[in-house]
């Protein structure tokens, strides 16, 4: 049997529940002020304060956040006779930790080689994506692979690799 809280969540709209909770809080505070400080109970002030609490709460906790939907992409097999190497880098700014991964698959989707490695003292996602690309190129060289298509999701790395500009920094 469902609890009262579960039933309320299911059948009472969110905005009504939020208003109820704010009114309940305002009444509790007014009750304590009346009992402990001897102040006079003022229903209109309590209702106005509950309304203000609700608007402040809803400003910080929006109920209808529209999220931008990314277009879903499906991984595709490489063309016949070719290999596909997928790379990715991960960066956690709060910890300075990161990692890389790369997977090579044949035209049937069979995994031929893979690498994953953690990194410490990481400064950016770009650094990790470049490390992933470096590891993938070394994997191709050491495995003696040719006819490899490299796929990454980081456009800046792709642009840098396709560019004809020499960087002397």
pLDDT of 77-88, one tens digit each? 999 999 998 988
- The per-residue pLDDT for 166 is 66
Structure tokens that stand for 63 in this block: 């109920």
For residue 135, give the nearest of 153, 148, 111, 116 by alpha carbon: 116
Q: Which residue has the higher pLDDT, 127 or 12?
A: 127
Query: The pTM is what?
Result: 0.53
Please state the rounded mean pLDDT for residues 54-77.
Answer: 78
Mean pLDDT, the chain, as a whole number?
84
pLDDT of 1-50, one tens digit each? 677 777 666 777 877 888 888 888 888 888 888 888 888 888 888 888 88
Report d(CA 82, CA 147) in Å as an integer: 5
Give the pLDDT band of residue 51 (cuts 50, 70, 90). Answer: confident
- % of the chain with per-residue pLDDT over 90: 18
Domain boundaries, the chain: 4-60, 83-154
CATH annotation of 83-154: 3.30.420.10
């Amino acid at each position: 049997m469902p609890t009262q809280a579960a039933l309320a969540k299911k059948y009472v709209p969110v905005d009504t529940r939020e208003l109820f909770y704010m009114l309940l809080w305002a009444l509790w505070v007014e009750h304590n002020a009346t009992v402990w400080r001897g102040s006079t109970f003022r229903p209109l002030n309590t209702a106005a304060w509950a309304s203000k609490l609700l608007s402040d709460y809803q400003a910080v906790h929006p109920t209808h956040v529209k999220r931008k939907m990314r277009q879903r992409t499906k991984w595709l097999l490489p063309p016949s006779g070719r290999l596909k190497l997928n790379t990715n880098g991960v960066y956690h700014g709060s910890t300075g930790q990161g990692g890389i991964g790369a997977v090579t698959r044949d035209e049937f989707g069979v995994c031929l080689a893979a690498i994953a490695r953690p990194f410490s003292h990481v400064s950016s996602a770009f650094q990790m994506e470049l490390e992933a690309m470096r590891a993938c190129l070394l994997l191709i060289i050491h495995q003696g692979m040719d006819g490899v298509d490299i796929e990454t999701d980081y456009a800046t790395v792709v642009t840098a690799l396709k560019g004809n500009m020499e960087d002397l920094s």
